Structure 1
């Protein structure tokens, strides 16, 4: 990440550069995965009366992006959009604002117990999917896929910490 923006590397392999068909295949596969994730997470978001992005914000806050400025930079949206989303999530009882313990000028965002419930329900549904539908994919293949996606994105490690690791 450079200056709050993700930098992307070029797509090439040992044989040569990817052609247009390879890029279209890649984009199609990424969109298929995104659709699959949405199909699993949108129902949870709707059960709690929030948007899919709102659910993502709950995950990001839990992972440590606990200030509005960090969220708007990571999601590449306007600060007013994040403020509105946070307000909706607070109204839904999923997040709360708290003053920083070290700097009273800083407001931090925390996940409430209800927010943790929505996150756990999403993770449970994703876990069920991986257990039932992706049983034919070995853990090593999943790790290789993650590494390949990181390589293609030009971001070798997620800027968002994984609180489960």
Structure 2
């Protein structure tokens, strides 16, 4: 018996997919009410996080999310109309449109993070910080990207207050 992932059988892979789906469902259950309150989709809420992290051009979002340009165009239109994002021309190239998160968008992001923070305080109280960091590192290894593809602005500028 080997201790490498290559030894995983179908049952292990199904268990992994089930666990990932459970985590995705948990995140959705916590953040979807925030998105619905703003009348946006979960993906649009994710776009706010991505723009805040530095994926500030539609082309970067299309590439990262692996969606059609029309999907990003539609989501960005809704986010701009909701006052959560704004478009600004690049100062170096007027043909390039950059996206910025508005103060209302940041408030929405903080509300969503607050819901997740509540879960980590209560629902995941039995998970140590070391276990969480090990889980994150393992997921990054599995994704083939040992370093985050999307930078974490909270690691660069300090922490955010949680409600």
Please give the alpha-carbon distance, in whole angstroms, between the structure 2 residues aligned to 1:16 and 1:70.
Answer: 33
Matched, 1:24 2:24: no
Q: CA deviation at 1:103?
A: 1.2
For each residue in 1:35-57, what CA deviation from the matched residue of structure 2 results, as whole angstroms up to 9, or x when unmatched?
A: 00000000000001100000000
- 2:140 maps to what in 1? 150
Structure 1 counterpart of 2:127, from 134, 137, 140? 137
- 1:42 maps to what in 2? 32
Matched, 1:118 2:108: yes
Unmatched segments (≥5 aa) in structure 1: 1-11
**Relative to structure 1, is the Cα distance of residues 121 and 86 closer, same or farther in structure 2, using a 3 angstrom cutoff?**
same
Please give the alpha-carbon distance, in whole angstroms, between the structure 1 residues aligned to 2:105 and 2:6.
Answer: 46
TM-score (norm 2): 0.92
Please give the alpha-carbon distance, in whole angstroms, between the structure 1 residues aligned to 2:137 and 2:105.
Answer: 30
Q: CA deviation at 1:13?
A: 3.8
Please give the alpha-carbon distance, in whole angstroms, between the structure 2 residues aligned to 1:103 and 1:45.
Answer: 33
TM-score (norm 1): 0.90
Q: Which has the higher contact order (CA 8 A, sep 6+)?
A: 1
**Relative to structure 1, is the Cα distance of residues 57 and 16 closer, same or farther in structure 2, using a 3 angstrom cutoff?**
closer
Please give the alpha-carbon distance, in whole angstroms, between the structure 2 residues aligned to 1:100 and 1:154.
Answer: 32
* Structural RMSD (CA): 1.2
1:69-88 alignment runs, 5 A limit: 69-88=59-78
**Relative to structure 1, is the Cα distance of residues 124 and 15 closer, same or farther in structure 2, using a 3 angstrom cutoff?**
closer
Moved segments of 4+, more than 3 Å: 12-16
Please give the alpha-carbon distance, in whole angstroms, between the structure 1 residues aligned to 2:93 and 2:81.
Answer: 25
